């Protein structure tokens, strides 16, 4: 698949260069004829016709204004492209319409198969559990999948749900988490190495790392994350210090390595609490996930 994509990209570049070359040759051959027409046919008529002279001057002025405006816009766009390149911004969307989803799916299809996937989100339903999720298929090709979800039985989850529209309840929030757990469990049966952890504090970011690309959305209080602007940053292999891929990747790594976040045991349905050395300290029940049972609070987040 990667070879086919590279071959298509190479063919497209060759065709583009051929078109530009043909256009340049056409312009070069037409310049003498155009100059001869202006000097020997058009200008003598303009010199003896005042109305035609004024029309020519107005047309030339309008063309120059248009040319200068295009040059100014091109310069501004060039500055924006340089800024986006420095930030390693590969894609951004503000609206969640069909066109934006189509463009994003095209981006995902062009990416090479990733060996590892790292997901730090709320319920995970819109990210990978839903059948129409963007990353549902890429996760099937990844070998190691690490996921962090917000514990639906923590007080912060209730506070998060209370800030959202009324149609979103703690019951629906818990049901989405349970659907994500079931999907991850199905990936385990496919031979994938899946690890799931839960955190109990409201997040600032939703971060999805897939290979050399990271999807980022801000978790604004009172709004669903899926309606927030989304930014995709790519790893700059030539200059890794540039761009936002590394900072967000380090952010999720820091959250993942925090021992205050227990790991979910798919076999027993329990949360495994560990110390800083990775030694198991205790286990707590995760509950049925229907949002009606007493909350299971995680270990206090102390330094």
What confidence tens digit (pLDDT) does each residue in 1-30 have?
Answer: 445 556 666 777 778 778 877 877 777 777
One domain for residues 31 and 175 = no
Q: How does residue 291 score in pLDDT terms, banded at 50, 70 and 90? A: very low
One domain for residues 227 and 240 = yes
CB 63 within 8 A of CB 55: no
What is the pLDDT, as a whole number, of residue 303?
A: 30
One domain for residues 135 and 218 = yes
What is the pLDDT, as a whole number, of residue 132?
A: 83
One domain for residues 119 and 237 = yes
What percent of the chain is predicted at pLDDT more than 90? 33
Range(s) of the domain holding residue 265: 90-285
How many CB atoms are closer than 10 A to CB 145?
A: 21
What confidence tens digit (pLDDT) does each residue in 221-239 have?
Answer: 888 888 899 999 999 888 8
Give the Cα separation of 235 and 244 in Å (integer). Answer: 8
One domain for residues 273 and 128 = yes
Give the Cα separation of 223 and 227 in Å (integer). Answer: 7
Given a cut of 60, whether residue 175 has pLDDT beyond it is yes
pTM over 0.75: no
One domain for residues 97 and 139 = yes
The verdict on residue 103 lying in a domain is yes
Q: In total, how many domains does the chain have?
A: 2
What confidence tens digit (pLDDT) does each residue in 135-167 have?
Answer: 888 888 888 999 999 999 988 999 999 988 888
Tokens 């095209």 correspond to what residue?
A: 106
The verdict on residue 290 lying in a domain is no
What is the pLDDT, as a whole number, of residue 1?
A: 43
One domain for residues 169 and 75 = no
Report the CATH number that the domain containing residue 116 is assigned in CATH. 3.30.870.10
């Amino acid at each position: 698949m990667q070879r086919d994509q590279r071959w298509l990209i190479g063919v497209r570049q060759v065709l583009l260069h051929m078109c530009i070359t043909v256009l340049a040759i056409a312009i070069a051959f037409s310049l003498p004829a155009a100059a001869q027409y202006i000097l020997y046919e058009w200008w003598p008529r303009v010199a003896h016709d005042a109305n035609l002279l004024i029309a020519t001057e107005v047309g030339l002025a309008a063309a120059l204004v248009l040319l200068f405006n295009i040059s100014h816009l091109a310069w501004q766009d060039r500055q924006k492209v340089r800024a986006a390149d420095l930030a390693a911004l590969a894609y951004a969307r503000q609206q969640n319409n069909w066109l934006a989803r189509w463009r994003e799916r095209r981006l995902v299809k062009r990416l090479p198969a990733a060996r590892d996937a790292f997901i730090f989100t709320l319920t995970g339903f819109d990210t990978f559990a839903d059948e129409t999720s963007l990353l549902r298929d890429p996760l099937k090709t990844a070998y190691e999948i690490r996921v962090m979800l917000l514990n639906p039985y923590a007080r912060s989850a209730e506070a998060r749900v209370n800030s959202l529209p009324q149609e979103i309840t703690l019951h629906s929030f818990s049901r989405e988490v349970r659907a994500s757990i079931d999907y991850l469990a199905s990936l385990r049966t496919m031979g994938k190495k899946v690890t799931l952890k839960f955190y109990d504090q409201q997040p600032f970011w939703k971060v999805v790392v897939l290979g050399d690309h990271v999807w980022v959305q801000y978790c604004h209080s009172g709004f669903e994350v899926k309606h927030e602007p989304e930014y995709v940053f790519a790893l700059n292999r030539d200059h890794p210090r540039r761009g936002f891929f590394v900072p967000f990747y380090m952010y999720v790594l820091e959250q993942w390595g925090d021992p205050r976040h227990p790991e979910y045991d798919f076999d027993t349905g329990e949360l495994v609490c560990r110390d800083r050395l990775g030694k198991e300290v205790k286990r707590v029940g995760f509950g049925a996930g229907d949002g009606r049972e007493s909350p299971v609070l995680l270990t206090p987040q102390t330094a």
